[in-house]
Copies of this chain bind each other. A is one copy, B any other.
Amino acid sequence: MTTDADQNDAARLAPEADAAPLPAPEQEPPLSPGFTDDYLLYLLAAASARASAEFHTLVAAHGLRVPEWRILACLASREGLKVTELAHQTLFDQPRLTKTLNVMERAGLVLRRSDPSDRRLALVSLTPEGRARVEPLLSLARGHEAQVLSRFPAADRRRLKAFLVALAR
């Protein structure tokens, strides 16, 4: 269903140091504590990858690839971005963005126009077609987000997002 990362699940959540004299009836899961299990950067990557995987299936179902979705979603609120700005926003490096934009421009989703006041700049915007394609996904994204956040009490939702903003500097 999802992209990947949802295969085995076996045992997880090994208890801390429980009772010492336990005869350990099962020898199957040797699960050690694991460096990564408590390492912030890993937890971030895992949370991002796993939480996004669900939504990415919706993106694919709408005929878009994930990088395209990201670009369209950024442009939906901020039109006329410079390529460099958009690259920063989308977390892509510039050559990658340029090449993805080429494809999307050919597909009629985005539009590049050169800034008359500085002809080095290429300002990127959505075409009507691009907007039409991204709009339904924006709704789905909000719905999916609400669903994911529904696991947390409202106060925690704000706190969580604040953490993430702080981590992104």
Which residues of chain A have a CB within 8 Å of any CB of chain B?
3-5, 7-8, 10, 13, 30-52, 55, 70, 73-74, 76-78, 80, 84-85, 87-89, 91-94, 138, 141-142, 144-145, 148-149, 151-152, 156, 159-161, 163-169
Q: How many copies does the complex hold?
A: 2
B163 and A156 contacting across the interface, CB-CB below 8 Å? yes
Which of A46, A52, A166 counts the most chain B CB atoms within 10 A?
A46
A79 to chain B, nearest CB (A): 9
Choose one: B45, B78, B80, B85; the contact of A91 (CB below 8 Å).
B45
By secondary structure, the A interface counts as: helix
| Complexed CA–CA distance, A156 and B156 (Å) | 11
- Closest CB in chain B relative to A47 CB, distance in Å: 4
Would A145 and B40 count as touching, CB distance under 8 A?
Answer: yes
